Structure 1
Amino acid sequence: MARDRRPSLLRRAGLRRGGADIDSARIAAAMEQLRHRGRATLHDRLHRVRMATGLAVQAGLAAALAWIVSHHLLGNPQPVFAPISAVGTLAASVGQRLRRTVELIVGVAVGVFLGDVLIYFVGTGGWQLGLVVTAAILLTIFFGASVAVVIQAAATAVLIVTLSPSTKDLEIPRFIDAFIGGGIALVVTAVLLPLNPLRVINRAARPALDLLADQLDVAAEALRRRDRDSAQRALERLRENKEELSTFTEAIEGAKETSTLSPARWHRRSELTHYAEAAEPIDRAMRNSGTLIRRSVTMIEDEEPVPEPMPDAVGHLAESVRLLRHEFAAGAETEKARERSLRAVSEAGRAYAQGVGFSGSVVIAQVRTTASDLLVASGIDQAEANRLIRESFGEQEKPNAGPAESGAAPKPPMAPPLG
């Protein structure tokens, strides 16, 4: 009996050892993922710090200068509002600082007016403060003011009601400080420390374009391996692109404002125009790539045929996006990015000729459409981009596909039913 049981015990021990080895491998893989995520998070945070360094230095200089001017030159013993106004102006979305300065002054004017009028009629106190704030908000909203004006009017009304009893003639210093703070913020951004607008845009464009390129690469590999989960993750990550696109758009607006206000940056206007025109087609490329990846997921789920050139076409789109970013950053002509976009369309034409299903035809159409968007972003007008797309796609194109790259798929000869 003992001899019969010993092998069983050894086998169980071996299974335990094997199980331990499997667990160790899983734990090691999980720890590696955590380390990679930690490195990625640190990289993202350092990138955000680099992006914000210029703004932080501008804000510090503007606050210091506003305090010095208000205190030493104008004799304000407590120059609180001037630095706050300067920082508030610089904290506005990049590209809206001139507008924010005007809003700051208008909001202060409304708040001072309402505060003085209501104090004269109802006095000061808790319920009077509530009445003043309510009136300031409702009045500014009635006249269609922005959120910034509403906030400034309400905040100024609070200061007038609460500080007027102990601080005489508060209204004039508040007006002056608003002018000083906003004005100095504009002087700092336009004259003293104007940021290089192209450098700002290049840094802001990198996350958005890298996100698009990376997820297209993942989608291409998912099609090769018929990995539905990988394609789904790429789709979900691409859908989380609002922050990257918002940063890119704000950077363009800020660069345009800098090139308008700063004499030292006037010579950059023509280069900035190209970037500004590229923002919209890049946004479209993001959305069309999302449709491409979503249909790739369905294509894998429905076990439709995946012709060999199809993943290559998606991969060429990813490389085109990277080349576009590099050539933008170098200020070079975007020839390589254009060539790679057209190569993607050519591979899509080959895939279509080999036969695709319904979702596959949509993927082919989105390759064409995204390539068209990237060509427009590179500086080619829409009509010329459409012509190049049709030529690169080849003879497989059907007449009913339409002359414009609107996202409509060329109708496949035989599309397998869904499900």
Structure 2
Amino acid sequence: MRRVGLRDGAGDVDGTRIAGAMEQIRHRGRATLHDRLHRVRLSMGLAVQAGLAAGLSWLAAHELLNNPQPVFAPISAVGTLAVSVGQRFKRTVELIVGVAIGVALGDLLIFLLGTGPWQLGLVVFAAIILTVFAGASVAIVIQAAATAVLIVTLSPSTENLELPRFVDAFVGGGIALLVTAVLLPLNPLRVINRAARPALDLLAAQLDSTADGLRERDRNKVQQSLERLRNNKEELATFTEAIEGAKETAMLSPARWHRRDELTHYGEAAEPIDRAMRNTGTLIRRSVTLIEDEEAIPEPMPDSVAHLAESVRMLKHEFAVGEEPEKARERALRAVSEAGRAYKEGVGFSGNVVIAQVRTTASDLLVASGLSQEEANRLVRQSFGDREQAGGQAEPESAPKRPTAPPVG
């Protein structure tokens, strides 16, 4: 009976562990589903645009240009829309240039050498080498090679393929631009807001988690925040790509020309937000070391990090509703003020670096809000107060070193 009791007790412990593991799996599944649905929502506009462009390009090539099999027109339209937004006009030009090179090489080598498998291989080789030597983009290289393949393989069975292929590429790319610029232009601010949300939410959440970890001296919590922030490349890439796409839409679409001024904030915010991400990574990494070395953590230090998180959230909200980001600026400066209080109470080496990074990240957020770097640095110095050591030349907040005192902005 005693052994059975021991087994039952062990079973209870194992059951608790298994239940905890299953709950983590279910949570991960819900998070994954949420991420996938978010990606679907982001891609909905692109899917509608691509479907419309494919149908219209086929109709134009078939009915207006009397092409009985206008395969290349919808392919070109979808290919133009499928590339990174912000590069569609460039993509259309690349399609046409690539097709022209492929047609010229394919016709020339067919005339000189005939058709066959080795001729096909030679045509593709020549198309790639020629376009690479000319300094063409990857898209032109691929398009030239693909067109050369089609010319060589289809020419024996399809007469006069060259001109329809070239015209189809022009029609498909042109209609793709027509759809995005005139018929179905996306709201550039809405696109940017959706794309910015994951990056800014990630930054705010990890700053909050770091603040909690500092209060609790929980090294693992801060380390987890660092690991999550390191996986932010996709969010930042999506944000930057959305900005470029919005600029392109505002440039090409008459219906969106009035949005150009509103896009200025976002266009200028991408680089300082990227810097804020990287400087926050340094802040969190030093917070881990600070806890490991059992350095002093003055009460204002976690508060300053929490204020940074709130500044990021306010920046996201004020950009989304088109307001001047005054609240985000005020919260960033409050973070600097709390960091100054922490410095006055006394910190160790790593704590000193954390305070320096609070200042630097706050400066980045101020620049992202629309202030100049000089104005941001001045406000940071003013908010930090007269707690800095005298002497030495001022350092810009955007490029701090590791002194024994926080760098002067």
Q: Into which bin does the TM-score normalised by the smaller protein fall?
A: over 0.9
Deviations 1:301-339 (A, max 9, x none): 111111111111111111110110011001111111111
3-state SS in 2 of match to 1:89 = helix
Q: CA deviation at 1:13?
A: 4.5
Q: Is 1:411 equivalent to 2:404 in the alignment?
A: yes
Equivalent AA in structure 2 for residue 28 of structure 1: A
Matched, 1:58 2:49: yes
Q: Does 1:366 align with 2:366?
A: no
* Equivalent of residue 342 in structure 1, options 328, 333, 336: 333
Match for residue 273 of structure 1 among 264, 271, 295: 264
The answer as to 2:394 corresponding to 1:402 is: yes
Distance in 1, matches of 2:153 and 2:52, equals 30
Residue 346 of structure 2 corresponds to residue 355 of structure 1: yes
Q: How does 1:10-89 map to 2 (within 5 A)?
A: 10=2, 12-89=3-80
| Distance in 1 of aligned mates of 2:27 and 2:56 | 43
Q: Which amino acid counterpart does residue 236 of structure 2 have in structure 1? A: L
Name the CA distance, whole Å, in 1 between partners of 2:11 and 2:394: 61
How far off is 1:237 after superposition?
Answer: 1.2
Residue 307 of structure 1 aligns to a residue in which SS?
coil
The equivalences for 1:3-402 within 5 A come to: 9-10=1-2, 12-399=3-390, 400=392, 402=394
Report the Cα offset of residue 14 of structure 1.
Answer: 4.2
- Contact kept in structure 1, 2:155 and 2:161, CA below 8 Å: yes
Q: Deviation of residue 16 (structure 1)?
A: 3.4
Give structure 1 stretches of 5+ with no counterpart.
1-8, 414-419
Query: Cα deviation per residue 1:182-211 (whole Å; 9 max; x = unaligned)?
Result: 000000000000000000000000000011
SS at match of 2:328: helix
Q: CA deviation at 1:32?
A: 1.6
User: 1:44-91 CA distances to partner (integer Å, 9 max, x unpaired)?
Assistant: 101000000000000000000011111111111111000000000000
**Shift of residue 136 of structure 1?**
0.1
CA deviation profile, 1:227-256 (whole Å, cap 9, x unmatched): 222211111111111111110001000000
Residue 342 (structure 1) shift = 0.7
Q: Is the 8 A contact 1:132 1:157 kept in 2?
A: yes
Letter matched to residue 69 of structure 1: A
Aligned residue pairs, count: 404
> 1: distance between equivalents of 2:388 and 2:5?
62
Which structure: larger Rg?
1
- Structure 1 SS opposite 2:387: coil
Q: Using the TM superposition, give the Cα deviation of residue 33 of structure 1 relative to its aligned residue in structure 2, in angstroms.
A: 1.3
The aligned counterpart of 1:3 is none
> Residues of 1 paired with 2:306 and 2:6: CA distance?
44
Residues 205-232 of structure 1: CA deviation (Å, up to 9, x unaligned): 0000011111111111111122222211
Gaps of 5+ in 2: none
Counterpart residue type for residue 58 of structure 1 = Q
Report SS of the residue matched to 2:67.
Answer: coil
TM-score normalised according to structure 2 size: 0.96
Change (3 A) 1:75 1:412: closer
- The 3 A distance-change label for structure 1 pair 369 and 401 is farther
| Cα deviation code 1:138-159 (max 9, x no counterpart) | 0000000000000000000000
Q: Percent identity?
A: 77
CA distance in 2, matches of 1:194, 1:107: 27
Q: How many angstroms does 1:278 deviate by? A: 0.5
1:410 positional shift: 5.3
Report if the CA contact (8 A) 2:388-2:405 is conserved. no
Distance 1:410 1:366 in 2: 12
Distance 2:8 2:114 in 1: 83
Aligned AA for 2:43? A
> Is the CA contact 1:401–1:408 (under 8 Å) kept in the aligned structure 2?
no
Alpha carbon RMSD of aligned pairs, Å?
1.3
